[in-house]
Chains A and B, each alone.
Chain A
């Protein structure tokens, strides 16, 4: 059970009835938020239906967009997600695609802040939302709408990011093997520089990453040192 005393430091928006303007991947619309739906991290409009088809790669996704005029909302792995209807799906089917209904609440992610917790274990138990940042005054979570709703049901009070964007931490990692850096550190680090450790084979990688990526790196046995933020950064 999550620690309720620390969860409720943010004022809850409670149950909101009315129109709430939300933005999903840059598309604005207005929806009625029912009393049982918490609205603190937005909902997904149900006026359009989300589908997915399988594509081989980015070029095929680009060809679907160019030739069939079907705009991708998201291309993730081999899945091409789009808002469609029967006409669009018939067109895609004629080219050999098999449209499948997708749940937008399991596809699109949101970033929210919660009050700082004593530890992150309860969060992990409640869902796969990732913990981007543990800041002093708040924690920054990233998850699908469904994941975040689960957390909200468990009592976590969430606040939208608003204009306070998450800033990755500056990090430094020493790698014993001076090759295949991408594989060693994964894809979630923006590598800013690599230099050889004096008098040895090892290399020092400096970069930027969020706390969940840093946790992964540490789980791989890498020693990650957090460097001071760039000048002027406000957390």
Chain B
């Protein structure tokens, strides 16, 4: 009788709320869902876990269907700027149904395990998790509408010439239009569209990510090559941060193989331009990965769905834990608590001098040019366990306000694989300090340390955006006030970028001033710079700039007075949409003439 009452209550609840789909304890993955079922399952997850899950929509498709997703967060009703944002997307290609099944499976796992797995819950509490199982709803509906349409790939844009469809994963702007793996022919499966971001499925997604406060990573599920893809996709060349990207990629492969023995590859063997992955890594340094799920082909037997989902789940959970829980970390400045990001660009300066890590120091301070010193790197392990076989790498490089670790020019001081116990561990590296000057003619170096473990991976190369990386400047010889100083910038982005260099006035002693005189030779601004009304210098990809610095000291300052002056900056890429700042800073130690 009790059971009957409960059923009647549930039915009444369903009717009252206007829902017609049933509420089940768990989702059935024994067969592929139809588009309607997929929608209903997502709604059911939101309804049955309303305290942590909510439906969101990023916009409508080209045929007007909402592109829906499930947001999971412990304060789901608000957009919480203090949390990291992690994003899973699937089914950009309509025929890759198994990708949507994986995303739905992950969504269900997270909402049902939130209350039963305290470790996962702790990490999820620091995040907003956004899962979009169907990024191409029109294509999905089309493939399900008739067996002859099952292998449709693109969206359903009417190209106006008798053909339909644009490949959403070739419609992003980064290196859009190259012949490498995309086509300008409307009928082709890899048709890139009439212009970059011509498709609502692409530009809504770009806008959605750019509106996030603190994006950490993106996973875009596809099928059916059984590989894990990463940047670069548009060219056969290593991307900046190759070590970081490769580490995360290999960890995913290992976790997948550990479940059912399925060994995914690292390369698909060909390029694609205008891809989602390259856009987010190229413009935002947000790690983006594509697991190409199980085949064979795009219509694997339904019996493959569950093993496919099972083997891909641990890799996804691991990334969520990386982004949500801090285990291993290096301080970026004395008051750093390990929060990510540790500093934000406020338009004219960084909120904190994140290039002054107290966890990175040398025996001799300052280090002596041309000598060998011991470089110490302290790593904190917040637990709960010893992190066996952690890898700590230390690098040095010319100072740049555009720094990242590793960067293509950084020199490896050393690499150690070690067990990091709970609490603090200090590792020692022998560093032969350069005797000469850096590329700016100064005795000034940036040192960075990166700690990696399969259970705690850096997901970017930007110091301030991950607690796994720390940085510290070392000036081997004090600059005298009269010395000509330069602030160096190198454009590591593969895009032209505006350079913004600023002095932190708080670091100046009373009465001191620092001037950044305009550069003598300013080239004619490009049309991109004109369109954006850029007022600062612009660097082309790979180009260096040395900005002179003039320090003006009041006459009453005694000789031998020492001041540490913070100068920082960012690169702002010359792109449409949100121009995400990428940057760094450093501290000049200036001594008045003795």
Distance (Å) between the CB of A145 and the closest chain B CB?
Answer: 9
Stretch at the interface among B72-80, B149-157, B301-309, B385-393: B149-157
A175 to B159, CA, bound (A): 33
CB-based contact B180/A187 at 8 Å: yes
Question: Does A59 lie within 8 Å of B187, measured CB to CB?
Answer: no
Of A58, A95, A109, A165, which is within 8 A of B173 by CB?
Answer: A58
Contact between B150 and A187 (Cβ–Cβ < 8 Å)? no
Interface of B is mostly: loop
Give B545-594 interface residues, CB cut-off 8 Å to A: 574-577
Residues of A within 8 A of B274 (CB): 58
Please state if A62 and B576 are interface contacts (CB–CB under 8 Å).
yes
By a CB distance below 8 angstroms, the chain A residues around B236 are 180
Which A residue's beta carbon lies closest to that of B157? Answer: A26
Cβ of B535 within 8 Å of any chain A Cβ, yes or no, is: no
Measured between C-beta atoms, what is the minimum distance from A115 to chain B in Å?
17
Stretch at the interface among B37-45, B471-479, B525-533: B525-533
- Asked if B300 lies at the interface with its beta carbon under 8 angstroms from chain A, I say no
CB closest residue in chain A, given B194: A74
Q: Is the CB of A26 within 8 A of B160?
A: yes
- Bound-state CA distance A15–B450 (Å) is 73
Closest to B196 in A: A58
Cβ of A200 within 8 Å of any chain B Cβ, yes or no, is: no
Complex contact B163–A234 (CB within 8 A): no
Q: Is A61 at the interface (CB under 8 A from chain B)?
A: yes
Query: Is A63's CB under 8 angstroms from B576's CB?
Result: yes
In the complex, what distance in Å separates the CA atom of A77 from the CA atom of B179? 10
Q: What separation, in Å, do the CA atoms of A232 and B147 have in the docked complex?
A: 5
Would B184 and A208 count as touching, CB distance under 8 A? Answer: no
* Other-chain contact of A109, B161, B180, B197, B271 (Cβ < 8 Å): B161
Is the pair B147, A63 in contact by a Cβ cutoff of 8 Å? Answer: no
When distances are taken between beta carbons in the complex, the residues of chain A under 8 Å from B530 are 95-96
B181 to chain A, nearest CB (A): 6
Q: Does B21 contact A (CB under 8 A)?
A: no
For residue A24, which residues in chain B have a CB less than 8 angstroms away from its CB? 160
Chain A residues positioned under 8 Å from B198 (CB to CB): 72
Query: Which residues 147-187 in A have Cβ within 8 Å of B in the complex?
Result: 160-162, 165-166, 168, 178, 180-182, 186-187
Q: Are A160 and B173 in contact (CB-based, < 8 A)?
A: no
Which residues 291-322 in B have Cβ within 8 Å of A in the complex? 295, 297, 299
A168 touches B189 (CB 8 A): yes
> Which residue from chain B places its CB closest to the CB of A160 in the assembled complex?
B162
> B187–A132 contact, CB under 8 A?
yes
Contact: A62 with B187, CB < 8 Å?
no
Chain B residue numbers with a CB within 8 Å of A97 are 527
Contact among B164, B184, B196 for A61, CB-based, below 8 A: B196
Q: Give, as a whole number of angstroms, the nearest-CB distance from A95 to chain B.
A: 5
Given that A66-B576, A168-B189 are known contacts, is A25 also in contact with B194, CB under 8 Å in the complex?
Answer: yes
The answer to whether A110 and B161 touch across the interface, beta carbons within 8 angstroms, is: yes
Return A51 CB to nearest CB of chain B, in Å: 15
Q: Decide: B576 and A65 in contact? CB cutoff 8 A.
A: yes
Report whether A233 and B148 are in contact in the complex, using a CB–CB cutoff of 8 Å.
yes
Closest B residue to A180 using CB positions: B236
Contact B161 A187 (CB under 8 A): no
Confirm or deny: A190 has a beta carbon within 8 angstroms of a beta carbon on chain B.
yes
Cβ of B258 within 8 Å of any chain A Cβ, yes or no, is no
Judge if B467 is at the interface, Cβ distance under 8 Å.
no
Residue B356 at the chain A interface, CB threshold 8 Å: no
From B164, B184, B268, B269, A76 is in contact (CB under 8 Å) with B184
A5 at the interface (CB under 8 A from B): no
Question: Most chain-A CB neighbours within 10 Å: which of B157, B160, B161, B577?
Answer: B161
A32 at the interface (CB under 8 A from B): no
- Chain B residues lying within 8 Å of A74, measured Cβ to Cβ, are 194-195
Q: What is the CA–CA distance of A88 and B527 in the complex, to the nearest angstrom?
A: 16
| Inter-subunit contact A75/B162 (CB<8 Å) | no
| Interface size of B as a range | 35 or more
Least CB distance from A228 to B in Å reads 12
Whether the Cβ atoms of A72 and B194 lie closer than 8 Å is: yes
Binary per-residue interface labels of chain B (180-194) against chain A in the complex, 1 for a CB within 8 Å, 0 otherwise = 111111111110001
Interface residues on A, range: 35 or more
Interface of A is mostly: mixed
**A188-207 interface mask toward B, CB cutoff 8 Å, 1 = contact, 0 = none?**
10111110000000010100
Is there contact, CB below 8 Å, between B180 and A182? Answer: yes
Say yes or no: A187 contacts B181, CB within 8 Å: yes
CA distance A60 to B297 in the complex (A): 38
- Give A165 Cβ to nearest chain B Cβ, in Å: 6
In the complex, chain A residues 19-65 whose Cβ is within 8 Å of any chain B Cβ:
23-27, 55-65
Partner of B189 from the list A61, A67, A111, A190 (CB cut-off 8 Å) is A190
A216 and B179 alpha carbons, distance in the complex (Å): 15
A231 to B296, CA, bound (A): 14
Residues of A within 8 A of B270 (CB): 181-182, 191, 194
A76, B151: Cα distance in complex, Å: 28
Does B176 sit at the interface, judged by CB under 8 A? yes
Of A60, A194, A210, the residue contacting B188 (CB under 8 A) is A210
Within B253-281, which residues are at the interface with A (CB < 8 Å)? 268-271, 274
B160 and A62 contact, CB distance less than 8 A: no
Bound together, the chains give a CA A214 to CA B575 distance in angstroms of 37
User: What is the CB-to-nearest-CB distance from B289 to chain A, in angstroms, rounded to a whole number?
Assistant: 19
Nearest residue in B to A162 (C-beta to C-beta)?
Answer: B162
CA distance A110 to B61 in the complex (A): 24
Query: Does A57 lie within 8 Å of B189, measured CB to CB?
Result: no
Is A110 in contact with B527, judged by CB distance below 8 angstroms?
A: no
Quote the shortest CB–CB distance from B205 to chain A (angstroms).
15
Query: Does A105 count as interface, using CB distance less than 8 angstroms?
Result: no
**A95 to B158, alpha carbons, bound, how many Å?**
33
> Does A142 lie within 8 Å of B176, measured CB to CB?
no
B23 at the interface (CB under 8 A from A): no
Contact B147 A108, beta carbon cutoff 8 Å = no
Q: Is A68 part of the binding interface, using a Cβ–Cβ cutoff of 8 Å?
A: yes
B residues 194-247 with Cβ under 8 Å of A?
Answer: 194-198, 224-225, 236
Q: Which residue of B lies closest to A71 (CB)?
A: B195
Chain B residues positioned under 8 Å from A114 (CB to CB): none
Residues from chain B with a CB closer than 8 A to the CB of A77 are 177
Residue of B nearest to A210 (CB): B187
Contacts of B183 in A (CB 8 A): 187-188
A166 touches B195 (CB 8 A): no
Whether A168 lies near B186 (C-beta < 8 A) is: no
Q: Could you show 9 A-B contacts with beta carbons less than 8 Å apart?
A: A56-B526, A58-B177, A108-B160, A109-B161, A142-B161, A168-B187, A191-B181, A232-B150, A233-B151
7 closest A-B pairs (Cβ-Cβ)? A161-B162, A190-B189, A111-B162, A62-B576, A232-B147, A58-B196, A58-B176
* 6 extra interface residue pairs, beta carbon distance < 8 Å, beyond A108-B160, A187-B179: A75-B194, A111-B161, A142-B186, A187-B180, A230-B297, A231-B150
